[in-house]
Every structure is written in C-alpha cells, then in structure tokens.
Chain A
C-alpha cells in the first residue's frame, strides 16, 4: 500500500481546467460527457459540473463490448448504459478512472458508435497507469503513474473519491 500525497478532487479540478482549454482550442462547443461505469461516471459527473455542461451525464456499461467475453463470460450485472441524448454529430468527452490496457476505451468507443456517429471523441482519464496494449492515449490525463506487474490502482467512491493502491501476490 503506497500513500499518495495528492487528492483526487485536486486532480479533477486541474483536469477540468485543461479539458476546458483543450475544447476551446479546437472549437468543440456544447460537448456531451460520458462516463464509463463505475469510476468513470464519478469523475465525469465532477467534470460536468466544473465545465458547466448542461446536458445530463451519459453512462456507459461496456459489458456487452468487452473483448474478453469469449474467455471469461458475462461480468456481474451493473446498471445498463444510459445515453439521454443523441451522439450524432456531437462532440463527446469520454471519461474513465484508470487507463490501463486500453481495451475498455476501445469497447466504449465501439458502443458509442452503435448510438450514432459523433463529430469527435476526446478521452479524459484520472489515472494513466501505463502498460497499454492498444494504441490508445488520453487527451487529458489527471496523473500518469508507473505501476509494476501485479500492482493495481482503483478508484473508490462515490463519496469521497479515493485512490487505492494494491499489490497482488
């Protein structure tokens, strides 16, 4: 167990500032924000508030798009995806808590396209822990950390948001 000398809320505040600038620089107006369940939704909700996005939050349950279904089957039930808007021709901000292999992001993008063709997707992650297995990079990264094999980071929440570091044996 490592202790980290930063708070999740401080990282998110800083992400919101950089995300706002990222969108403004590219003239991506009136964006929609989507969180990947479960942790990504918590982060997305805070970003939504801080960026003053009026649209409701979308949440993605990527269980039906995972690439490991043929190996491990269905994952335990989580709340269904809910996109209370059309993504067609819209600028989308996709949010997750931890970027690791990149497979979750790939699954999420596949799912988004089954709802329509967005004008753009930007990826924002709280933690990039490295060890990507797919060519997926975040546009906005809260904190990049290097974790070794067998080390894990998990976002606990929703109140308060805390990072848990663990080593599996």
Chain B
C-alpha cells in the first residue's frame, strides 16, 4: 500500500480528514523549504505537496507563478529537487506528492522521472495539464511506483468523473473554483454541490480532496462539513513563507498548520 493510501486509512480509522499542504520547493530558498516542511509536520499536516517550478504554469495564479519564477531563478533543478526530497525523507515519513507540469516529466521520460522521484521518496504526482486522454504512457510508467492524482472540476460531467476516478490513485483532486490557484477565495455554493456530487459518484472508492483558493480554517471547516476527505492549502502557505523571516518560519508555519488541521478533526 502506498504511503498516501496508508495515510488515508489511518485517518479514516481515527475519523479524521486530511490536511494537505502545498509549498514550492526553492521558494524563496532551500533553507526555507526545509524549515517550512518541519513546520508543516510539526503542525500536523497529513500530506505535503512539493511544487517543482515550471516556466509556464498556466493553471496557477500570481502567487505560485511568482514562487515558480523565484525558484527557477534560484537555480532549482531536478537533481537538486530530488536531493531536497531525500533530505526531507530522512526526517519524516509523511507522504510527499510532486506537483509540476507535464513537460517536466515528459522531457526526461515518464518512466525515468517517476523512478528517480520514487527513489528520492516521492509517493505521487499531480500534473494540472495532464488530461486522461493523453495519460496512457504516464499511468503505465507510474503503475506500482507512484500514485497518479488527477484533477476534476465543478463542471466535469458524471461519466467523465467516473473515468478520471478510475485513472486516479491516492486521492482525487477537486478544483474548488473556476480559476487559477490562490485567486478566488470564499466558499461557492457550486463547490459544495460538487463535493457532494463527486462523493456520491465515487462511492468512497477514492478520497476526494478539495483545493484552489482554500486559505483559512473556516474554509477548511466548511469543505470538510460538505463531505471532503481532504483539503489542500497552497497559496496561503506561500504568502506566509514570503512574509516570515527564516528564524521564525518553522514555528509560524507550525502554528498556521495547526489552526487548519484542527478543523479536520471531528468532535
């Protein structure tokens, strides 16, 4: 069983939902990444998504775009990224998901990239521009090596949700809002409806995580109440990292993480 599946099983037994945190590796530098991960673990995050920067992040809003640019300017390369992952793996067993764009994997070769990532300690992948139509080689390469987490949107129709769920493992990523990451905030009725609908269609076969524009403990609470198995917070962490000095980063991230995590524990 993958680390991600184990994590969800463990949370299920505890009647808890998952808090998934996203950070961009190398933003604003590698030390900050390490401190942020320690803060996330300490604060009780269940899964960490590590962003690898791409020059043209077309599904991302300004916060992650900027983080990508800074990270690339700092010289974040694939090998460097893997060595950071290995360093993190020495400290924690938390499931790690790599989020980037298709071309990064395609360029190295899906198989080669996925094996190297797995050896470094990556458990799954999220590629926002990978559609199920184009995913045959990617899925074949990931099989038995890593989870493939696909995205669905509030406008995805039922038959397609079923297909995407079949191609997904680990969890299913429901995009909360029409838009890019971290831009629209606030809870939309159509999102709450979508969560219920997707849960009904997937019948508990795979956990459903909600992300994009999720930034406060109150957001987390409402999405969990609507039936989400996990919530994903990204841009809000990056904003916090941006304004926090290095010596306070770990504690500050831990505090914010704790405030979010609390909302995933049913009382």
Is the pairing of A and B real?
no
B residues bordering A, Cβ < 8 Å? none
